[in-house]
A and B are shown apart, each in its own frame.
Chain A
């Protein structure tokens, strides 16, 4: 059954994987190596001198209770973003899948938010929830709820989660929709003839068949929540109020690019590298077992 091509020489296969290896080396291994190297120093911002401190940067970070607290914040944030971007996407994809007329328009509309850059999305949401002039906070005020994300940490977290998840819903929708389309009609029809109603068919047939896609999206969304959300956080809360929305990657950005503390910033990216590596290993080792290809 399995298709396997065997090459006769070494040259061709090497040539074929060379571009990928080269790209990984230049854009991944080299910068990652640099980060690890730099994490052992406290350099001055201009690169004029650097003092070797061994693991001093890591010691400094892990001894800081606010840095340790950022791990918890990151976990809460990532779980919320992943759930809030995947569940609605799946729901919308299921609806779009059943749509016969106008599904093209519906699909296109749903994809639009993905084209909005995270920082811009942040500003849009910030405007709507601005404590004094925001439309939504005004309506909430009419209902008797005093929205104030500049002082209320929970509300701030909610806002950055929504702003981060919003654009991702489109991306996830696309994948879920394609996956749903590839579920064989015959299996579903057979179940329908056997009397299985919609939700039963969905949970026992459709969902298991799209688990590869769901698993892929899980990995991709966790990575997104970890690495690509600092634009949103920077524009909406800058990590506040207090430290309630300071996630690990935002601290990397803030310490490196605002504070010019490149040693600490590099050490943080190394820690982040390990955390995400570990998470991915866990995902592949345990969750993938439940995936049916």
Chain B
């Protein structure tokens, strides 16, 4: 039986290969495995089945960094894919590589596909758009940080789970109560630099770097050692010393602890939804990311994390037409709405958000719209449009190191951030030199 099935599969793959030869092939490299990988494959299959001129071939190339590296190495060997997924941190690298990428607005114009850049959510699109308003890459998966609450753990420690936690001042009080109530892990975080510095700055409308966070030029300098950031990190550092904030690692290690029910509060991406909703055996809730009342009367918007799709140079015109078709397909409301609902990533178009609302998804899954509201409630400012810094992956590494020094009590927040600025600026100058 098994043999028959595989023989059948083999035969059908032969047929598929036969058809593929007659169609124009479009290579798509991405960084998704597991559930997300299946969802990407499903999108691609749907596109391939919907028309007969093009066939998109998707392949997984490792994690975000590895995928970017695979794309770069392939470009050097002149075997680059048509579409490459690049995480938001690699945006400046791609933008600076004018000879290697073909801007999405150009691809769309040439392919004749319907393309209206106003259909995309401003704060998502802004990250990948030039200051002149040209969209360079297509936002694919975008999320933003929110506060996840384990309501059962709150009750167990004798804290009312409905307590208002809109501000960090209020969260501070809750952490005191949780600790006093015997909670071992009151607060844990994922992606510390992204949430507690990059998003923190945008959310409080203070600059993370000069030159509009790098949007206005390569001669940008870090400004993450401002008073607002230092105040926040000092408070976090004190919480770490008192055992109210538990540090688990630089990536999303804390997610395992939260999903296992060990921690009460968790600052993590809205895209944590897929994992938390499937694993958590406790009553959980999503809240907006807290802000400091002392710094801002009300929060600005948060910024995104995630990846976008870049089109690489060096292919034939009819292949680019296929790329255009595929990217338009990905932006349709149905595809976007189901992606948003399945993953917790933001819908990239306004229409997809409206569709999700009209389908009643937010009513059935309370809190899933918080990320969308948090991103779109206000018009982004120069400080909250996003970040565009070269060598940003390495700069994040430096920030991680300096934050660890704060959590361990080795450095004050001010010392650590001054040092992060000095070291990060050195890398920014190198990047500027390499891309002049």
Which chain A residues have a beta carbon within 8 Å of chain B's beta carbons? Answer: 42-48, 51, 53, 60, 64, 66, 131-133, 150-152, 238-243, 254-255, 257-261, 263-264
* B residues near A261, Cβ cutoff 8 Å: 391, 394, 427, 430, 434
Interface residue? B96 (CB, 8 A): yes
Q: A258-B394, A261-B394 are in contact. Are A48 and B430 (CB under 8 A)?
A: no
Interface residues of B in 233-259 (CB under 8 A from A): 247-250, 253, 256-257
Expressed in whole angstroms, the Cα–Cα distance for A243 and B397 within the complex equals 10
Q: Could you tell me which B residues sit within 8 Å of A by CB distance?
A: 65, 68-69, 72, 75-76, 93, 96-97, 99-100, 247-250, 253, 256-257, 260, 262, 391, 393-394, 397, 400-402, 404-405, 407-408, 410, 423, 426-427, 430, 433-436
Q: A66-B423, A238-B250, A239-B401 are in contact. List 9 more A-B contacts (CB 8 A).
A: A44-B434, A46-B76, A151-B247, A239-B397, A240-B401, A242-B401, A258-B393, A259-B397, A260-B68
Give the nearest-CB partner of B253 in chain A.
A150
| Interface contact A132-B257, CB-CB below 8 Å | yes
Q: Give A251 Cβ to nearest chain B Cβ, in Å.
A: 10
For the complex, what is the distance from the CA of A131 to the CA of B433, rounded to whole Å?
A: 41
Contact, CB under 8 Å: A260 / B69 = yes
- A243 CA to B420 CA in the complex, in Å? 13
B75 in contact with A150 (CB, 8 Å): no
Query: A48 contacts B97, CB within 8 Å?
Result: yes
Q: Do A240 and B404 have beta carbons less than 8 Å apart?
A: yes
When A and B form their complex, which 7 residue pairs have the shortest distance between CB atoms, in order from nearest? Answer: A259-B394, A46-B100, A241-B404, A48-B99, A42-B434, A47-B76, A151-B408
Closest to A64 in B: B426
Q: Could you tell me if B410 and A242 are in contact, using CB atoms closer than 8 angstroms?
A: yes
In the complex, the chain B residue whose C-beta lies closest to that of A150 is: B249
Residue of B nearest to A263 (CB): B434
Known: A46-B72, A259-B393, A260-B72. A242 touches B405 (CB 8 A): yes
Asked if A257 and B434 sit within 8 Å, CB to CB, the answer is no
Q: How far is the CA of A53 from the CA of B432 in the complex (A)?
A: 14
B93 touches A240 (CB 8 A): no
With A and B bound together, what is the CA distance between A261 and B429 in angstroms?
Answer: 12
Q: Taking CB as reference atom, which chain B residue is nearest A256?
A: B69
Minimum CB distance partner of B68 in chain A: A260
**Chain A residues whose CB sits within 8 angstroms of the CB of B93 once the complex forms:** 45, 260
Shortest beta-carbon distance from B404 to chain A in Å: 4
A254 and B257 CA atoms in complex are apart in Å by: 28
A-B contact pairs, 22 of them (CB 8 A): A42-B430, A43-B434, A45-B93, A46-B76, A46-B97, A47-B75, A48-B97, A132-B262, A150-B253, A151-B407, A151-B408, A240-B250, A240-B400, A240-B401, A241-B404, A241-B408, A242-B404, A254-B394, A257-B65, A257-B69, A259-B393, A259-B394
CA distance A53 to B435 in the complex (A): 13
Which of B260, B394, B402, B410 lies at the interface centre, i.e. has the most chain A CB atoms within 10 A of its CB?
Answer: B394
Give Cα distance in the complex from A46 to B77, angstroms: 10
Min Cβ gap B145→A in Å is 20
Distance between A95 CB and nearest chain B CB, rounded to angstroms: 39
**Of the candidates B96, B260, B401, which one forms a contact with A44 in the assembled complex, judged by CB atoms under 8 Å apart?**
B96
Is B404's CB under 8 angstroms from A51's CB?
no
Chain A residues with Cβ under 8 A from B250's Cβ? 238, 240
A31 CB to nearest chain B CB (Å): 15
Pair B410/A44 contact, Cβ less than 8 Å: no
Could you say which of B72, B256, B402, B430 contacts A60, with CB atoms under 8 Å apart? B430
Q: What's the Cα separation between A238 and B65 when bound, in Å? A: 14
Asked if B248 and A132 sit within 8 Å, CB to CB, the answer is: yes
Q: Which residues from chain B contact A151 at a C-beta distance below 8 Å?
A: 247, 404, 407-408
List of A residues within 8 angstroms of B426 by Cβ: 60, 64
Closest to A66 in B: B423
Whether A150 contacts B69 in the complex (CB less than 8 A), given A46-B97, A241-B408, comes out as no
